[in-house]
Every structure is written in C-alpha cells, then in structure tokens.
C-alpha cells in the first residue's frame, strides 16, 4: 500500500424501515455500487472531491437490538455519515471455541442496519478495546492460565486471537466495502501506544486480521498524539484521541510528524464515564464542544465522536480503571454508560445533540433527515419485592479445595463466588482475617451473620473478626462472598485479570485450608427455592411483579426541535418501535431501596446496584417488558426488609450534596 495513496471503498446505502425483532425481517437490500474513497496528502477524497468522515460511536451491545435502527437513524439526523463500533470478544466467545453472534450480539446485523440508514461503518474488533468494558473486552477465561499473558507475543494468546478474529470475519468479512458492505475502515488493536512499545506484537495483530479475511478495508491505529510513535505503522493511517479543548494542540503535534495521511480525530471525548463512589454524574460543556467541532470541520479534518450514544453496560460488563498514583486505586465504572453523550442513555437527543447538529449543518450546507418519532419513557407503579430467598438455601454443589483459587480456575468469568471453611472451636475471641488482594468486593459472614466487608476500591485486605465461643464438634463457619465488580480495562493492571481470592487466606497469620468453593456466575435467574414472605437475613434474592396494562403515552422528553430547513418527514413505518401503538415505554428502575447487588427483569440482567452512588437507577428498555406480569428479581448482599422499587421517567443520579463515600 502506497504511503501517499491509500484506497478504500465506501458503499452507498439504502434506507429501510426499522423493524422490531418479533416481526418478519425486511428483505436484504441489494449491494449498492461502491464509491471510491482515496486519500491524498492530508485529505480524504470521494469521487475526486474533498470528503470528511463525520462519525459517531454506538456500541451495539450497549443498545437493545430493537432500538438499533432508532439510534442509527438519529446519527443520520444529526448529520453524521459514519458510525463506529467496537466488537467485544468476551461476549462473542464466552468459553474457548464457543461463539455467540445471536440476538443482541448479531454485530453483522448491526452493520447491515447501519448501511440501511445510509451510514458507513468503522469497525474496531480489538482484540483489546478498552471501552470501559470488562477487561477491555478480553474473555475472563484468558486469565485462567497463569503462564499466558494477554496483549503480548505469547503464542497461546495470539492463537486465541487468531481463532476469535477468524470467527468474527465469518460474520462481517463480506460486509467490507470491497464486497458491497458499509465497513470502510478497521482498527488494528486499540491505543496500544498507551500500554507498550512492542511493534512486533502490533504486526502480529495486523497479520491476524489479514489472515482472518479482514484486510480489505482501510487499516488504521488510534491513540493520543504523544503515544502514536509507540504503535503507528508507517504505511497506515493513524488518528488521534483527545478531550475537549485539546484539538488545536493535538492536531499540531500530528502535523509535526509529517505523516502523509488525512488528519482525523479517532476519539473526540465529548463526555466521560462515571465510576462507583463518585460524588455526582459527569457532565461537560456542550457549547464549547460544538465550537471545537466547528473548528475541526473548518480545517477540513475528520472526526469520530466518542460517544455519540453511550447506552448501558448491561449485566456485569462494566470495566474498571486503576489509578496509578502513589496510592493506586481501583475504580470500577457504573452500569450506566450515558457518557453525557449527544443521545442520553435512553436514546433521547440532548442539548448537545442539537448544538452539534446545527454546527454540522452549517458546515456542510446539507439539511439532515428528520428525527424519528420519540420513544416514550414513563414512570411505573410501585414494585414491592414481597418474597425473599436466602443465598444460603440456594448454593450449588461445592468444589473442594485445599486453598481458595481465583474464579477462573473453576471455569467462571463473571458474577460472584463463595469461599467457605470451618474455624476451630474455642472461647470467644477477636481474630485477624487477611485475604490479600481481594478481587473486588468481599462480604464476610461468621455462622451466616454479617461480620464486615473488604473493598478493593479502598485497598482493604484484612479485618478483625469477633468469633463466638464454640465447643468441639460445633465449628464456626466462615463464608467469604466475593463479587467481581469489573476487571481493569486500561493500563498495566489489565494483564492480571484474575477475580475472586487470589492469595491464601490467613487467620491470625496462620493459613486457613480445607475450603468449599461455590461458583455463582448469576448468569440467569436460575430456579430458586425457599421463597418466603418472612424477613430473610444476609445475602438474598428478592422478587416482585411489575404489572403493565398496556401502552401509555406518557413521555419525559419534549418533541425534537423543529428544523425549518429539513424536508417534510416521511410517514413512520409501522414496524418502527417508536410508532407502534402498543409500544411499552422505557423506564428507569429506582434502585435506592437496595444496597449492593444487581437486578433481573424478565431474565435480563439490567446491571449493578450500589448505595454509594452516583447511579441510583437502572435503564429498563420497553422491548424487555410485556403487557401483563413482569418478573423482577434483585440480589443483595445486605438484609433488606421488603424493598419497593418503581420506574422513573428520568434517571436518578447523586448530587454532590447527597452523595456518600
């Protein structure tokens, strides 16, 4: 590939109605004739004319499939011509050699729907993606072998990468522009220069992509301008990532490198993520960002907004950072990935959306398509969780172990794990329990009574236990219930993704042995027993029912701002979920009555709850609800007395005055 002329293909796309999954799928559009896009010096050219890539990030796994068309259509309505998405290895290969590209994981369908909405696609397959996602997208099973190292030249790791990318290519390889699809660019790795300097490793990932069949698109790398020398290829495009207020400085650095490629922002951080324990939700300055995007456009540069729509890290898929300061701090991210983006977590246009839409339209002179009909978001009636079932009554068969091992040693990647042993009888006393580097939150119980917690965020590794008197033959039961709160997704701590207990446990400095281990992946609302309406102490499941009579017209968002320059809106297709007469509104489940755990609704894991905030609600998409009865199950570490949940029309976040640490 010439250093001075890089060629890729863009597919012209047709626009088809959005359809709910329950309806018959629309016939696949015939591949449109491809249009040639080239680069010349610092500019993209399309059909021989200057062209700018105007892109925004949407992660398919963070958006319910029924809403993919809605979010993509809103990207077009803001004036974007491209959408960018990561591909999440850990979702698609949950165990070695076992792949899943169904339902909400059908990345190929997401790409096809982007094409139907007239959008090109930038694909970022990893294998590492960061994304504030669990382990940066690496499957938990990669950490099972202590002799293998992720993100390195380790042949065992690279063999796993080959298998994953080859399988991914079977899904999306024929959707590259050279085959008539919308994928115009593919990223090699992700921000590797912020992690290491191994160009041999980067070339190994490049060759793996080529072998897989993903080499027919424009290759590029993405990183901060200062880190580009660590990972950029001479022959490929390199784009830069930065935050608001840094555009002029970062582009000046890129220009000084005299790279013969277009100048582009790979990630313009138009918001930021939230972490558990923060005082309030992150918010940013939308007018200033719009001004900076206007400057970028005026220079003829291209951009990708990170994020256009953040969505939700459903289930246990949030990641964590590890602050590398003198007092290194583990910082798990919230379930909400709202990101203060142009579309909020429920997909509603924010003021930032309209600022950016106006800037793009002023620059291009093209009136964008109209916004689709708003999807309703509504409050619900109270949901009393009137029945409870103790965790102690719902444990699986134990695994015997002389010493506790990490979660991965037992074939588990996510959720919880319980370690149990017996302490010798004796008089009442205080004893010092040390567990080492807990991964990531542990609740300690003595004879099933709460005895304390250890939180990796606070670097807690030990505590004093009050042990009761016990006679021979009646030993004391010690339970350590550990939650994987999210593996580190960025920085050097990424390479050690073990969860659970990873070192021997001691009591008064003496090692404890002879353990029973109970894996608790919580991967589905398994059949529980022992339900009761009586109070239940300790960790337990709590259930109730949300009854919905049918549709409602209550909405929390006003209609979109009218655009006098836009063409008259077309009639909304009957298949559009926003226009379906009986559509069930989205809601935000108020979780303030809960302490720490997670919530299932109709078998969908909505994500984590934690009373430290700043997040105090969980996004509940309407397509996951049904008219009639809906099952709601919450798990919590702490004793709860008939908690009552309810749906809110708006998300609930801590304010600085109400947040707790």
Spacing of C-alpha 570 from chain mean position = 34
Q: Any idea what DSSP says for residue 370?
A: P
Q: Are strands 120-124 and 183-187 parallel, antiparallel or unpaired?
A: parallel
Q: How far apart are CA 241 and CA 494, in angstroms?
A: 20
* Cα dihedral 136, 137, 141, 144 in deg (nearest 10): -20
Token readout for 37 is: 């896009």
267 catalytic residue (yes or no): yes
Helices (H) and strands (E) in the chain, counts: 9, 33
CA distances to 364, 370, 563, 572, 647 from 367, in Å:
8, 9, 9, 19, 37
Handedness of CA 297, 300, 305, 309 (dihedral sign): positive
Q: Which of 189, 191, 408, 483 is catalytic?
A: 191
CA distances to 72, 434, 504, 600 from 347, in Å:
10, 45, 46, 21
84 catalytic residue (yes or no): no
- Provide the 3-class DSSP secondary structure of residue 216: coil
Query: Could you tell me if 598 and 316 are in contact, meaning their C-beta atoms sit under 8 angstroms apart?
Result: yes
Query: Could you tell me if 505 and 435 are in contact, meaning their C-beta atoms sit under 8 angstroms apart?
Result: yes
CA distances to 14, 125, 311, 466, 553 from 625, in Å:
31, 31, 18, 46, 16
Helix axes 155-172, 199-212, angle to 10 degrees: 40
Residue indicated by tokens 């619900």: 380
Q: Which of 113, 171, 246, 267 is catalytic?
A: 267
* Cα dihedral 123, 129, 130, 136 in deg (nearest 10): 140
Looking at the DSSP assignment, which residues form a beta bridge with residue 35? 10
Q: How far apart are CA 54 and CA 60, in angstroms?
A: 19
CA distances to 68, 270, 651 from 282, in Å:
25, 11, 13
φ and ψ at residue 520, rounded to 5 degrees: -135, 75
- Residues marked active site are found at 191, 267
């Amino acid at each position: 590939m010439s250093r001075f002329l890089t060629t890729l293909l863009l597919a012209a796309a047709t626009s088809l109605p959005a359809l709910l999954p329950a309806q018959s799928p629309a016939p696949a559009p015939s591949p449109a004739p491809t249009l040639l896009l080239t680069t010349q010096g610092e500019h993209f050219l399309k059909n021989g004319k200057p062209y700018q890539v105007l892109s925004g990030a949407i992660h398919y796994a963070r958006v319910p499939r029924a809403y993919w068309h809605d979010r993509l259509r809103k990207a077009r309505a803001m004036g974007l011509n491209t959408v960018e998405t990561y591909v999440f290895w850990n979702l698609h290969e949950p165990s070695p050699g076992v792949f899943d590209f169904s339902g909400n994981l059908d990345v190929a369908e997401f790409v096809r729907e982007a094409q139907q909405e007239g959008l090109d696609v930038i694909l970022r397959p990893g294998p590492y993606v960061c994304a504030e996602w669990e382990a940066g997208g690496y499957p938990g099973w990669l950490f099972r072998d202590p002799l293998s190292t992720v993100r390195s030249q380790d042949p065992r790791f690279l063999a796993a990468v080959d298998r994953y990318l080859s399988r991914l290519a079977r899904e999306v390889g024929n959707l590259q522009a050279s085959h008539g699809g919308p994928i115009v660019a593919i990223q090699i790795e992700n921000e590797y220069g912020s992690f290491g300097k191994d160009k041999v490793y980067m070339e190994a990932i490049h060759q793996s992509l080529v072998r897989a069949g993903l080499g027919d698109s424009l290759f590029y790398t993405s990183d901060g301008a200062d880190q580009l020398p660590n990972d950029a290829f001479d022959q490929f495009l390199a784009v830069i990532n930065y935050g608001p207020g840094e555009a002029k400085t970062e582009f000046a650095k890129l220009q000084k490198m005299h790279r013969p490629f277009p100048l582009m922002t790979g990630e313009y951080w138009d918001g930021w993520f939230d972490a558990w324990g923060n005082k309030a939700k992150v918010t940013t300055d939308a007018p200033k960002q719009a001004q900076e995007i206007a400057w970028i456009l005026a220079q003829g540069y291209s951009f990708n907004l990170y994020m256009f729509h953040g969505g939700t890290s459903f289930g246990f898929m949030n990641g964590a950072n590890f602050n590398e300061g003198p007092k290194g701090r583990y910082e798990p991210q919230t379930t909400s990935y709202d990101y203060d983006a142009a579309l909020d977590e429920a997909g509603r246009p924010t003021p930032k959306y309209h600022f950016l839409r106006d800037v793009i339209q002023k620059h291009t002179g093209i009136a964008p398509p109209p916004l689709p009909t708003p999807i309703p978001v509504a409050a619900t009636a109270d949901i009393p969780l009137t029945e409870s079932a103790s965790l102690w009554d719902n444990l699986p068969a134990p695994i015997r172990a002389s010493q506790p091992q990490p979660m991965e040693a037992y074939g588990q990647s996510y959720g919880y794990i319980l370690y149990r042993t017996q302490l010798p009888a004796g008089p009442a006393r205080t004893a010092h329990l040390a567990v080492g580097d807990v991964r990531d939150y542990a609740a300690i119980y003595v004879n099933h009574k709460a005895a304390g917690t250890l939180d990796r965020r606070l670097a807690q590794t030990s505590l004093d236990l009050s042990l009761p008197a016990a006679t021979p033959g009646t030993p004391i039961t010690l339970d350590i219930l550990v939650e994987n709160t999210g593996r580190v997704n960025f920085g050097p701590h990424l390479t050690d993704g073990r969860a659970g207990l990873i070192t021997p446990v001691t009591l008064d400095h003496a090692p404890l042995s002879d353990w029973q281990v109970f894996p608790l992946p919580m991967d589905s609302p398994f059949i529980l027993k022992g339900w009761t309406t009586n109070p239940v102490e300790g960790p337990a499941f709590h259930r109730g029912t949300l009854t919905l009579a049918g549709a409602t017209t209550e909405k929390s968002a006003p209609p979109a701002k009218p655009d006098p320059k836009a063409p008259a809106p077309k009639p909304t297709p009957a298949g559009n979920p926003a226009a379906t007469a009986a559509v069930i509104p989205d809601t935000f489940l108020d979780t303030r009555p809960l302490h720490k755990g997670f919530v299932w609704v109709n078998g969908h894991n909505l994500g984590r709850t934690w009373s430290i905030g700043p997040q105090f609600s969980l996004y509940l998409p309407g397509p996951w609800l049904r008219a009639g009865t809906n099952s709601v199950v919450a798990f919590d570490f702490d004793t709860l007395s008939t908690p009552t949940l309810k749906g809110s029309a708006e998300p609930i976040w801590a304010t600085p005055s109400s947040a707790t640490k």
